[in-house]
C-alpha cells in the first residue's frame, strides 16, 4: 500500500468501511474516491488526463475527444448540472483511442478492457464533482498540482 493510498483511505473513510448500494457497489463520490484510493496509479492517470499540463489537453481536450467520438452529450452531462450519462469501456476506448487505452492499461497492470472500464466508472463522477458550477472553467481545471489540491478539497468535504 503506497503513501497516497494510505492518506486517501484514512481521510475518506476515517477508519470505517465505505457505504455500499444495494448491489454492493460503493456509490457516488465516495465510490469514485474509493476506487481512486485503492489505485493510486489511476489517480495519476486521471490527473494527467484532466490537467492542462497533461498530454490530452486537459478537460477541453478530453471533451473534444469525446465529442469527436459522438459522445458529446455524455461528456457535457458530466459537466452540467443534471444526471451523468454513463459511458461504456468500449465508448471510452473509442474516444481516447486504443493506443492510449493500451498505454493506460500497461501503467495500471491490467488488460485494456479493464482499464477502459475503470475510466468509464471514474471519469463521469469525477468530472462532475470538479465542475460544480455546471460548466467547464474557461481556462480548464488547471495543472496537475491544482487538480491534486481540488481532489484534496473533495476529500476534506467528505
> For 22-31, 104-113, 128-137, which range has the lowest pLDDT when averaged over its residues?
22-31
- CATH number for the domain spanning 75: value is 1.10.10.690
Q: Can you give the pTM of this predicted structure?
A: 0.71
Higher pLDDT, 78 or 149: 78
Strand partners, 20: 26
pLDDT at 82: 85
**31/125 Cα distance (integer angstroms):** 9
**73/76 Cα distance (integer angstroms):** 5
- Quote the domain boundaries for residue 107: 3-157
**14/9 Cα distance (integer angstroms):** 7
> For 39-53, 65-79, 80-94, 97-111, which range has the lowest pLDDT when averaged over its residues?
39-53
**9/5 Cα distance (integer angstroms):** 6
Mark 69-85 as b/e (b = at least 16 C-beta within 10 Å): bebeebbbbbbbeeebe
The per-residue pLDDT for range 14-64, each reduced to its tens digit, is 333 333 333 333 345 566 566 666 667 887 888 888 877 777 788 889 999
Asked if residue 129 lies in contact with residue 139, where contact means CB atoms within 8 angstroms, the answer is: no
Strand partners, 26: 20
Asked if residue 107 lies in contact with residue 119, where contact means CB atoms within 8 angstroms, the answer is: no
Summarize the confidence of residues 89-99 as an average pLDDT.
97
Alpha-carbon Rg of the chain, whole angstroms?
15
Q: How confident is the model at residue 88 (pLDDT cuts 50, 70, 90)?
A: very high
Higher pLDDT, 119 or 47: 119
**141/52 Cα distance (integer angstroms):** 7
Q: How confident is the model at residue 108 (pLDDT cuts 50, 70, 90)?
A: very high
Residues 6+ apart with CB under 8 A from 82: none
Number of domains, the chain: 1
pLDDT at 78: 93
Amino acid at each position: 500500500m503506497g503513501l497516497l493510498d494510505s492518506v486517501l483511505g484514512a481521510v475518506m473513510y476515517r477508519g470505517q468501511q465505505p457505504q455500499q448500494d444495494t448491489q454492493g457497489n460503493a456509490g457516488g463520490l465516495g465510490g469514485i474516491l474509493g476506487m481512486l484510493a485503492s489505485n493510486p496509479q489511476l489517480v495519476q492517470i486521471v490527473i494527467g488526463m484532466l490537467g492542462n499540463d497533461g498530454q490530452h489537453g486537459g478537460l477541453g481536450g478530453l471533451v473534444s475527444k469525446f465529442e469527436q467520438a459522438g459522445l458529446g452529450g455524455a461528456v457535457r452531462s458530466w459537466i452540467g448540472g443534471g444526471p451523468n450519462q454513463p459511458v461504456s469501456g468500449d465508448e471510452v476506448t473509442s474516444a481516447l483511442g486504443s493506443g492510449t487505452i493500451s498505454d493506460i492499461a500497461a501503467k495500471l497492470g491490467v488488460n485494456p478492457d479493464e482499464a477502459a472500464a475503470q475510466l468509464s466508472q471514474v471519469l463521469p463522477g469525477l468530472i462532475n464533482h470538479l465542475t460544480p458550477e455546471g460548466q467547464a472553467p474557461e481556462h480548464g481545471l488547471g495543472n496537475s498540482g491544482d487538480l491534486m489540491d481540488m481532489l484534496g478539497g473533495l476529500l476534506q468535504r467528505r
